[in-house]
């Protein structure tokens, strides 16, 4: 970029941008472009809460069938509070970030004990509930109760950063807090929920995070500074992410004529309390796998190399090698190795297996994740 252009942009002071001008064009646009979504049809506090937790780190289209199944199974705070953790994990299977649903169960218990089963309308009280931060509290308070509080997520930070060419790092908590304060000051009376939803919608549908934003469709293109300076993709500013740690695993799909072997993950940490295939640390060859099976007292009748798979979590990656092994009898292995033996129907109905293992669950011929959810709804 030429120095004269840099100097011209320096003259533009973010503080001089009149943020109030975004409100009316945004609400007008939202009135004719809002998507029809199941949780918007009857925006009670419970429905808004469930949808917002599901939508964290997850696409709208992926959430829809999960939301419908979850609401059918647990239609009230009371039902959610009473549900066993294994039921919650199974309903969430495939959505990922499983602590979200664990915290929902804890928060439902808090609501039953502290608020007589009624989700509070107070922002601070909402923030005191397990798993509810400033964004979710703002969404519930504004959409369900009409409270004038912002709901600032990544979509909102991005659109506000672009419209006023904000050079601050949106990953910093103080920047988020500043944006929340700025939006609180311009919150339209009586339309707080619509305003927050409109900001999210604009970020999801027009001012998109990856690739060129659809500026020709934006209600703000007359005054958006990033658009006027043709530097939309330079915003928002973010500090670089930490490099992922990589773990190598060899996954074993162990089956005899009747059942397959699973094991439960530890009660704390990544994917806590869920079920997985037995695995060996590192990338192992066939001889190493057979040797390991011998330590379990299992005799392999047939072994087949499966495809490699990779799953990316927030801060780490799993690089997996797989083997399908047919053994003569699973039950002959010792009972103190943590393995459980389940048939296909039992695995599909009862045991929550993370989507990280999707490349290997298909060898058990079980439906998982969105495939199972859609099947349950038909």
Which of 7, 24, 41, 52 is catalytic? The answer is 52
Cβ(212)–Cβ(235) below 8 Å = no
C-alpha 118/C-alpha 105 separation (Å) is 15
List C-alpha distances in Å: 150 to 111, 144, 157, 179: 22, 13, 11, 9
Quick one: CA dihedral 82, 84, 88, 90, positive or negative?
negative
Question: Coil, strand or helix: which one is 18?
Answer: coil
C-alpha 357/C-alpha 275 separation (Å) is 10
Residue 309's nearest CA partner among 273, 272, 240, 361 is 361
**Cα 151 off chain centre by:** 17
Q: Does residue 236 have a cis bond before it (omega within 30 degrees)? A: yes
Task: Respond yes or no: is residue 68 known to be catalytic.
Answer: no
Cβ(246)–Cβ(316) below 8 Å = yes
Phi, psi of 154 (to 5 degrees): -60, -40
Active-site annotation, residues = 52
């Amino acid at each position: 970029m030429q120095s004269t252009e840099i100097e011209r942009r320096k003259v533009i002071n973010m503080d001089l941008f009149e943020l109030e001008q975004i409100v009316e064009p945004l609400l007008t646009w939202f009135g004719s472009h809002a998507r029809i979504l199941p949780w918007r049809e009857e925006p009670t506090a419970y429905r808004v809460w469930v949808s917002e937790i599901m939508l964290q780190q997850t696409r709208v289209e992926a959430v829809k069938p999960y939301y419908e199944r979850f609401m059918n199974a647990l239609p009230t705070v009371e039902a959610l509070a009473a549900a066993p953790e294994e039921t919650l994990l199974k309903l969430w299977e495939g959505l990922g970030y499983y602590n979200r649903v664990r915290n929902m169960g804890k928060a439902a218990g808090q609501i039953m004990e502290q608020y007589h089963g009624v989700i509070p309308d107070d922002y601070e009280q909402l923030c005191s509930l397990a798993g509810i931060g400033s964004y979710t509290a703002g969404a519930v308070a504004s959409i369900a109760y009409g409270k004038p509080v912002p709901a600032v997520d990544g979509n909102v930070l991005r659109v506000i950063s672009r419209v006023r060419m904000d050079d601050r790092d949106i990953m910093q908590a103080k920047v988020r807090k500043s944006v929340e304060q700025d939006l609180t000051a311009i919150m339209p009376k009586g339309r707080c929920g619509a305003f927050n939803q409109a900001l999210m919608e604009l970020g999801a549908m027009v001012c998109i995070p990856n690739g060129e934003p659809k500026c020709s469709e934006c209600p703000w293109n007359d005054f958006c500074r990033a658009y006027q300076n043709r530097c939309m993709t330079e915003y928002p500013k973010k500090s670089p992410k930490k490099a992922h740690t990589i773990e190598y695993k060899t996954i074993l799909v162990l089956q005899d004529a009747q059942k397959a072997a699973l094991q439960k993950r530890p009660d704390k940490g990544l994917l806590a309390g869920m079920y997985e295939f037995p695995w060996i640390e590192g990338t192992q060859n066939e001889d190493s796998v057979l040797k390991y099976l011998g330590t379990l007292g299992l005799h392999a009748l047939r072994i087949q190399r499966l495809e490699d798979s990779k799953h990316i979590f927030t801060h780490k990656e799993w690089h997996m090698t797989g083997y399908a092994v047919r053994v003569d009898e699973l039950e002959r292995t010792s009972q103190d190795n943590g393995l459980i033996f389940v048939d296909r129907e039992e695995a599909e109905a009862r045991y929550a297996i993370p989507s990280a293992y999707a490349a290997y669950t298909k060898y058990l011929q079980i439906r998982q994740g969105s495939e199972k959810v859609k099947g349950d709804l038909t």
